[in-house]
Structure 1
Amino acid sequence: MLNKGEYSFSTCWNIKRHTVGREMIEEIKELGFRNVELNYNVTEELLTTIEPMIERAEIGISSVHNVFPFINDKDYDTDSVLLGYDDEVKRKRSVELLIRSIEYAVRYGAKAVVVHPGEVPFAYNIDSELKKLYRDYGKDSPEYQKLWNEMFDQRERMSAHYSRRIQDSLEEVSNHAAMRGWNVAIGIETRARCYQMPTLLEAKTICDNLKGSPVSLWYDIGHAMMMDRMGLYDNLQDLQEVKRYIYGVHIHETLELSDHYCPYVHSKDLHFFDHFLEVIDLAQVKVYELKAVCQPDEIHESHNLITRKIAALNQKVD
């Protein structure tokens, strides 16, 4: 299949289908990708057959996704307070785990570590409840708006505190990386649940406060689309503010509030995703993060559309 060049592909697509790491990577290589992002579900066991492939340059690693490799502990998974914990023991452990992820990235020659930095904690998964109300009654319904306002008020009250905690943790990690002479970007990712951090402008503030550090924004296109639909921020407007902070992108599209679909192909909308082509083109690391339902022919079609459209844009500029 056509070589996908600098584009990378996340193991989240096929990790549930494989128990042998080499076979998982070979399946991705068959799609034409020569670079992969190792996601947070990659275990040490899977790595036993992936690492020889990296050493022999059979595959390049664009990025790894914190916490890496996988640890089975809900306190430190991708949907947790993580770098923002008030509990100092837990926060320190989260810092150590991110440093461990960066160590792996350095070892594999990756350019970046993708990080879900934290959240404003709620007593239950209020995002799940809101998404159900959105689907059942619509965004403008009294049912949705009432719960949304409750969530938003609490998030607004507490976000500055958790932003500071996250920032302190990222500063510790950045100092450690500098001391070790590591040259790996730390990309804080736009998230898929409305109480999670950061929003685009929260990410801008954190990056501004840590200027000179390896901390940058990892723009997850599908997540940002969903948060815009739910009402958390204006994705296209805020994107203009944060473009220069972006190091990497997760490329996928959403259908309503469901994500990780092939851009253009599943939505059947051949225009809206054009808003993100400039950002994809500018990103240092470009990673497709697709779900298992995406079929090889759909992945190829989506990639061809994206690359053709970007080439046409660049021709106009020239």
Structure 2
Amino acid sequence: MVMEDKGEFSFSTCWNMRRHSTGVGLLNEIRELGFRRVELNYNVTEEMLVTIEPMIERGEIGISSVHNTFPHVPDPDYGTDSVLLGFEDKEKRKRAINLLVRSAEYAQRYGGEAVVVHPGEVPFPYDISGELEQIYEGQGRDSAAYRSKWAELMERREAYSAGYVQTIIESLDEVCNRAVSKGLNVRFGIETRSKPQQIPTLAEAGTIINALKGAPVGIWYDTGHAIMMDRLGLYDSIGEMEGLMDDIVGVHIHETIGLSDHWCPYVNSGDPDFYDAYLPMIERAQVKVYELKAACRPEEIHESHRLLTAKLARRG
């Protein structure tokens, strides 16, 4: 049974990626939820595209966006938690640039509007974000242990982030020049991230976007990640968006419970109001994508969408 049409809203394959070995199975399950458009995430393989491409060609599914690096690249240097566009190593950075251009070519070929980009991070010698989350959940953000660990993170971040941001700007400039020369009509959305050592903060996003004025680069506002970073203390996820509202390429729609993300807004948290603060960002986004975890059940997805669209309609 196909559920009610979800209109302009798109749905990420991260929800059911692990349940399928074929592209046709992957997308049919999403189509049954009533979504006409999908975001192909970075775990979609070239093998899956063999059955996905005919579906696109027949008009059975639309592609809103692809998530770099696309299709899947098993090398962790080019994965989701990586220095990526900020590599100092020239060859590694060159490959990262080539892979992002390739993602944009796929997006264009499939009729997508945007590429979701994880720009990079300030590398740490150990898993500092994991330790911070443990302290946050065990002792709280106001504890001495948290303040001490946070100070360590920020000291290194402040020392190195400007250099990485500058390299990311140079990489994106090259990507955009190549995309334009190839006639690609897609935008690059630099995504708000889920770990505090990762780039960009909202201020860094503003720096990158302003440095590339006129280029097809904006912010991909991942609402759940922004909520997490706000809770950890990295930035004000609502107040600091004021100067970036005109630059929203897309949004990932999901809610965070504590520091656990990718839940259905309103439904899984049981909070009828908290997520309202993120509706203006969803409203402004060119591409609106639900990015939910496998634990979200179809009935929760439908109810969440019903509540969210009703609230958006009331704003209008």
Q: Same fold (TM over 0.5)?
A: yes
Task: Verify: 1:30 aligned to 2:9, yes or no.
Answer: no
Q: CA deviation at 1:177?
A: 0.8
Q: Distance in 2 between matches of 1:198 and 1:25?
A: 31
Q: Distance in 2 between matches of 1:236 and 1:277?
A: 11
Aligned to 1:181: 183
Aligned to 1:244: 246
Q: CA deviation at 1:276?
A: 1.1
Deviations 1:151-175 (A, max 9, x none): 0111011111000000000000000
Q: Distance in 1 between matches of 2:186 and 2:287?
A: 12
Which stretches of structure 1, 4 residues or more, deviate above 3 A after TM superposition? none
Q: Secondary structure at the match of 1:216?
A: strand
Letter of the 1:304 counterpart: R
Instruction: Give the gaps of 5 or more residues in structure 2.
Output: none
Superposed, 1:105-116 pairs within 5 Å as 105-116=107-118
Q: Distance in 1 between matches of 2:280 and 2:78?
A: 34
Deviations 1:41-75 (A, max 9, x none): 00001111111000111000000000000011011
Superposed, 1:1-318 pairs within 5 Å as 1-314=3-316
Q: Distance in 2 between matches of 1:38 and 1:132?
A: 31
Q: CA deviation at 1:28?
A: 0.1
**Number of matched pairs:** 314
Q: Distance in 1 between matches of 2:150 and 2:90?
A: 31
Q: CA deviation at 1:125?
A: 1.5
Contact 1:65 1:101 in 2 (8 A): yes
Q: CA deviation at 1:241?
A: 2.2
Deviations 1:73-124 (A, max 9, x none): 0111010000000111100110000011011011101000000000011111
Q: Distance in 1 between matches of 2:283 and 2:246?
A: 12
Letter of the 2:183 counterpart: G
Q: TM (normalized to structure 2)?
A: 0.99
Deviations 1:153-203 (A, max 9, x none): 110111110000000000000000111111100000000000000011111
Q: Identity percentage over the alignment?
A: 60
RMSD in angstroms over aligned alpha carbons? Answer: 0.6
Q: Distance in 2 between matches of 1:109 and 1:196?
A: 30
Q: CA deviation at 1:245?
A: 1.1
Letter of the 1:269 counterpart: D
Q: CA deviation at 1:281?
A: 1.4
Q: Distance in 1 between matches of 2:129 and 2:148?
A: 13
Contact 1:201 1:242 in 2 (8 A): no
Letter of the 1:28 counterpart: I
Letter of the 1:125 counterpart: D
Instruction: Give the gaps of 5 or more residues in structure 1.
Output: none
Q: CA deviation at 1:279?
A: 1.4
Letter of the 2:162 counterpart: A
Q: CA deviation at 1:282?
A: 1.6
Q: Distance in 1 between matches of 2:184 and 2:243?
A: 28
Q: TM (normalized to structure 1)?
A: 0.98
Contact 1:131 1:257 in 2 (8 A): yes
